[in-house]
Amino acid sequence: MVRPSAKHTSARLLLICVGLLGIALIADFLWASSPRFIRSYNHIADNWAPPVDISKPTSIPSPKKTSHEIPTKGSVDYKNDTAPGRVLSATFADLPGPELKWEGMAEAPVPRLDGAAIQIKNLLFVFAGYGTIDYVHSHVDIYNFSDNTWGERFDMPKEMAHSHLGMVTDGRYIYIVTGQYGPQCRGPTAHTFVLDTETKQWRDMPPLPVPRYAPATQLWKGRLHVMGGSGENRYTPEVDHWSLAVKDGKVLEKEWRTEIPIPRGGPHSDVYMMDDEMKWNELPPMPKPDSHIEFAWTVVNNSIVIVGGTTEKHPVTKKMTLVGEIFQFNLNTLKWSVIGKLPFRVKTTLVGFWNGWLYFTSGQRDKGPDNPQPKKVIGELWRTKLKLNS
């Protein structure tokens, strides 16, 4: 990929980002049969879709066709919809689901796209993200679920990435790996950090062997695991997997260990789970491919709950299509279901769960009920009573 140079205008940069970035999706779950579920995930290549309408289709390059854009099992049958004479709905990929009652809560102090969030008990720590294509946040905002207010704000280290981060917590320390450094479509950094959420102290950790965009990041059996994500050129889905021994915010080794790669990179709806022997097992696929969900999920009662995201590009317009559903993957029954519709479609939203309520804040929403393309970067916060399928 040609890195945008400084002399390009922002509008030009947007087009370059839209044209060259692939959307990828994998959903990798690590499973410890003994019997703790280790949350993992994945993601993806990034994609900056413009906050403003780039309305002239001729100025938008066609997405690069790659093998990983071929619809996979579990995805919607495009052939049917693209048959001659058929008029495609603008809401191409929406799935039916229950309507939910949503309550608007206090907006976040800043709007955020491609930020990160970690919930520790009743607090949601919200990190980084783009405010606009030219401005990235370099601080943390904290939302308190107990009194439903946004409170403390503190700075991130100057060297820490601003979007596409990998992040996980052990309940006190938050481990933060790699990500994109800077605004627009800048490159990734290999820098990694650990934050003590009690003292608000940051420490360095050994850098990743190579930088990544949005790798799946999990703690499992005393090791910090980092998997997949996009490569340094931004759009190549990678399958590397590394781990590092950590305990209570301290790093116990000098170097990252190379582990078994993830089974598949790129956009797809397949689901894999790692067993105790470090082997990947395939599980039932997602109802549709869903990327840009790095921090848009939570685990409640042994179900993974995923909010919004981005699915495959519209088959005719080739435009990015946002997701407006909430998915549940029940780990007892290994079944997927759509458990509700969002107030609007949204990607890279940040999710928490407290006291029966499912919350989401930030991200980029759609253009409207009839147009699933991305538009406004939001700071809105919404909640609904979560109803799971058994």
Q: Which stretches of the chain bind ligand NAG, using CB under 6 A?
A: 77, 79-80, 83, 123, 144, 146-147, 151, 300-301, 386, 388
Residue 237 vs 287, nearer CB to ligand NAG: 287
Least distance (Å) between residue 343 CB and ligand NAG: 19
Residue 303 vs 348, nearer CB to ligand NAG: 303
Nearest CA to 190 out of 250, 262, 240 is that of 240
C-alpha distances in angstroms, 358 versus 5, 92, 311, 326, 350? 42, 26, 22, 10, 11
Residue 272 vs 297, nearer CB to ligand NAG: 297
Q: Which two tokens stand for residue 71?
A: 């619809």
Least distance (Å) between residue 128 CB and ligand NAG: 20
In the sheet with 267-274, reading across from the earlier edge strand, the strands are: 37-38, 25-31, 267-274, 280-283
Residue 11 vs 300, nearer CB to ligand NAG: 300
Q: 3-state DSSP: the chain helix, strand, coil percent, rounded to 5?
A: 5, 40, 50
Q: Let me know how many helices (H) and strands (E) the chain has, helices first.
A: 2, 28
Least distance (Å) between residue 385 CB and ligand NAG: 8
Residue 160 vs 386, nearer CB to ligand NAG: 386
Using CA atoms, how far apart are residues 60 and 308, in angstroms rounded to an integer? 25
Is residue 298 within 8 Å of 361, Cβ to Cβ? no
Residue 62 vs 332, nearer CB to ligand NAG: 332
Using CA atoms, how far apart are residues 120 and 127, in angstroms rounded to an integer? 14
Is residue 42 within 8 Å of 280, Cβ to Cβ? no
Using CA atoms, how far apart are residues 46 and 321, in angstroms rounded to an integer? 14
Residue 6 vs 87, nearer CB to ligand NAG: 87
Residue 23 vs 123, nearer CB to ligand NAG: 123
The string over 53-82, giving b where at least 16 C-beta atoms fall within 10 Å of a residue's C-beta and e elsewhere, is: eeeeeeebeebeeeebbebbebbbebeebe
Using CA atoms, how far apart are residues 345 and 385, in angstroms rounded to an integer? 18
Using CA atoms, how far apart are residues 235 and 226, in angstroms rounded to an integer? 18
Q: How open is the CA angle 187-235-37, to the nearest 5 degrees?
A: 95
Least distance (Å) between residue 78 CB and ligand NAG: 10
Beta-sheet pairing, 25-31 with 267-274: parallel
Least distance (Å) between residue 145 CB and ligand NAG: 8
Residue 6 vs 83, nearer CB to ligand NAG: 83
Least distance (Å) between residue 288 CB and ligand NAG: 14
Least distance (Å) between residue 199 CB and ligand NAG: 13
Least distance (Å) between residue 204 CB and ligand NAG: 26
Least distance (Å) between residue 71 CB and ligand NAG: 13
